[in-house]
């Protein structure tokens, strides 16, 4: 049986004003303040299958975004800002209510008391003065062991007015994953911010899509038709192959058990969240030199960093009397279960308008498919080999409808066999892989969060059966590497951050020499 730690307790500095329903799934409250349904409430669409999946016991997923601010936070100003924006969003002002005589849930609008959602904890002043970064890190880790009150809309903002090495204060936004997918929720968070240089302007996000119109216009009609037919054939073939591999992963194909793979029940363990800032310009230099995308570079850096970390871990148990160090085993299968949003992400302007009006205009929710992506694990003499292989892997996955296939397959399973069957299959797929991975594009200019300049944004997620979750988040000219780890599996997450940062440096140096 897997060993478990007791969930950490959090002092919030206020009484829990819940109704006693606590964390019972889909529970109803006893007053408008705690989620009671009144005449003013508005019933909305039923909860999506993906949203219901994130409420299952072994997929009780939450998104956590740590926001570093450049000055001490004015709690009243933040509350006023939330009242006029986030609290007006349809999902952030709704509770989950069971449908009568059915094992389903629907969203029901309720009055939001912002006081219930903004938490200013009582932190130990002595510990905060000695090691403020550790205090903040411990607090966020404790959140991953603390349940949310389902009698209220499932979001919280924790304000920690503690000066750390990077920021003058820290805000921690915790949102249940059933409210939306990660990309949409990040877009919503950015819709609550404004540019520091132009306080009335929303942030601008670069378009990551490649422009192919010029190349297409230069082709003749017949050649373009032949290329279109060939591209569709390749897409169909790749999708078929990926569907077979995905089915095999569900059935019997497991990743190699490495020091990065969690034990049974890892989804119930509290997580440790650590992050590191690296240069986005360095990543763009590699992208330009290797003629690839930023995402290709990140796949290569991840492959290199994981290889360095595992090479060290496999050598730690060697007999010191032996002169030869045990090397990294060959043919390691290490993959990520990558969640892909197959719905076009609502724009920041559309989300800002949605919050202003307090009703839906942009498409919202969880419309997610899975994609299985392999990271090469090896020690290459040429650091650029990681980028070449990362580019090849990413390019191959772009020519596949694997995520669309898995989304509709899950939809059919839910309709025929129910949400528990779909959750069991998703759980089986995730435990046969090693880690979760994502890359989110952030603003290119400095932004303010209700009047507080943002220094960094570090998002992550917990509640799924992986011991390691790796996020990349860009902001201005920096890139945040964010890890969420199970410390029973990865007791030294900062060493893994070092390996990822060092891999970027070695690849950048190799580019300079080439």
CA angle 53, 54, 56 (to 5 degrees): 70
Which residues face 376 on adjacent strands?
none
Backbone conformation region of residue 451, classed left if phi is above 0, alpha if psi is from -120 to 50, else beta? left
Closest C-alpha to 283, from 65, 514, 472: 472
Residue 18, Cβ neighbours under 10 Å: how many? 19
Q: What are phi and psi of 342, to 5 degrees?
A: -95, 0
> 392 CB contacts (<8 Å, ≥6 apart)?
none
Backbone conformation region of residue 474, classed left if phi is above 0, alpha if psi is from -120 to 50, else beta? beta
Query: How many CA atoms does the CB half-sphere of 31 hold within 13 Å?
Result: 7
**DSSP sequence for 287-333:** HHHHT--HHHHHHHHHHHHHHHHHHHHHHTTS-TT-SSPP-PPSS--
> 94 CB contacts (<8 Å, ≥6 apart)?
44, 107, 108, 109, 110, 153
> 7 CB contacts (<8 Å, ≥6 apart)?
142, 145, 146, 270
Would you state the pLDDT for residue 168? 97
Would you state the pLDDT for residue 364? 64
Closest C-alpha to 296, from 208, 195, 389: 389
pLDDT, one tens digit for every residue, the chain (514 residues): 333 333 344 443 333 333 332 333 333 333 333 434 343 444 456 787 788 889 898 999 999 999 999 999 999 999 999 999 999 988 899 998 887 655 678 889 999 999 999 999 999 988 888 999 999 999 999 999 999 999 999 999 999 999 999 999 999 999 999 998 888 888 888 889 999 999 989 898 886 554 444 444 445 677 888 888 888 899 999 999 999 999 999 999 999 999 999 999 999 999 999 999 999 999 999 999 999 999 999 999 999 999 999 999 998 754 434 445 567 888 999 999 887 877 666 667 666 666 766 565 566 666 778 899 999 999 999 999 999 999 999 999 989 999 999 989 988 998 899 889 989 999 999 999 999 999 989 999 999 999 999 999 999 999 999 999 999 999 999 999 999 999 999 999 999 999 999 999 999 999 999 8
SS (H, E, C) 151-162: CCCCEEEEEECC
Cα 289–chain centre separation: 29
Cα 205–chain centre separation: 18
Rounded Cα–Cα distance for residues 242 and 236 (Å): 10
Assign 103 to helix, strand or coil.
Answer: coil
**All domains in the chain, ordered by first residue:** 226-316+328-345+360-438+482-513 (3.30.559)
Hey, CA dihedral for 495, 500, 501, 506, is it positive or negative?
A: positive
Instruction: Show which residues are catalytic.
Output: 177
């Amino acid at each position: 049986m897997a060993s478990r730690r007791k969930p950490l307790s959090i002092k919030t500095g206020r009484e829990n004003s819940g109704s006693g329903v606590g964390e019972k799934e889909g529970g109803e409250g006893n007053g408008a303040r705690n989620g009671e349904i009144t005449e003013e409430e508005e019933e909305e669409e039923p909860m999506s299958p993906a949203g219901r999946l994130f409420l299952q016991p072994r997929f009780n997923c939450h998104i956590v975004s740590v926001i570093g601010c450049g000055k001490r936070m004015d709690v009243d100003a933040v509350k006023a800002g939330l009242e006029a924006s986030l609290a007006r969003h349809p999902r952030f002002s709704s509770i989950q209510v069971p449908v009568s005589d059915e094992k389903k849930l629907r969203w029901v609008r309720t009055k939001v008391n912002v006081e219930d959602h903004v938490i200013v904890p009582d932190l130990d002043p002595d510990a905060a003065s000695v090691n403020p970064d550790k205090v903040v890190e411990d607090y966020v880790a404790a959140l991953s062991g603390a349940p949310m009150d389902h009698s209220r809309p499932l979001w919280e903002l924790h304000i920690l007015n503690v000066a750390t090495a990077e920021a003058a204060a820290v805000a921690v936004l915790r949102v249940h994953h059933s409210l939306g997918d990660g990309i949409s929720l990040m877009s919503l968070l950015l819709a609550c911010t404004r540019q520091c240089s132009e306080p009335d302007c929303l942030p601008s996000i670069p378009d990551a899509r490649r422009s192919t119109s010029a190349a297409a216009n230069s082709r003749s009609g017949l050649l373009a038709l032949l290329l279109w037919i060939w591209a569709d054939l390749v897409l169909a073939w790749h999708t078929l192959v990926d569907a077979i591999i995905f089915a095999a992963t569900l059935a019997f194909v497991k990743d190699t058990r490495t020091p990065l793979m969690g034990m049974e029940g890892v989804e119930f363990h509290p997580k440790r969240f650590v992050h590191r800032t690296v240069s986005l310009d360095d990543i763009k230099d590699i992208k330009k030199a290797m003629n690839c995308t930023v995402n290709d570079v990140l796949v290569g850096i991840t492959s290199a960093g994981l290889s360095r970390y595992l090479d060290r871990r496999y050598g730690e148990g060697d007999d010191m009397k032996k002169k030869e160090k045990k090397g990294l085993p060959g043919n390691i299968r290490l993959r990520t279960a990558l969640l892909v949003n197959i719905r076009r992400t609502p724009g920041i302007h559309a989300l800002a308008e949605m919050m202003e009006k307090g009703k839906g205009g942009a498409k919202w929710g969880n419309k997610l498919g899975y994609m299985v992506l392999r990271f090469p694990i090896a020690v290459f003499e040429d650091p650029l080999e990681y980028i070449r292989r990362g580019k090849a892997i990413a390019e191959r996955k772009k020519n596949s409808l694997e995520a669309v296939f898995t989304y509709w397959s899950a939809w059919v399973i839910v309709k025929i066999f129910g949400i528990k069957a779909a959750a069991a299959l998703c759980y089986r797929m995730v435990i046969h892989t090693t880690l979760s991975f994502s890359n989110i594009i952030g603003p290119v200019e400095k932004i303010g969060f209700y009047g507080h300049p943002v220094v960094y944004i570090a998002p992550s997620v917990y509640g799924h059966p992986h011991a390691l979750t790796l996020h990349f988040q860009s902001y201005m000219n920096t890139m945040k590497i964010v890890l969420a780890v199970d410390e029973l599996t990865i007791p030294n997450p900062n060493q893994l951050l070092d390996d990822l940062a060092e891999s970027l440096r070695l690849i950048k140096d190799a580019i300079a020499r080439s």
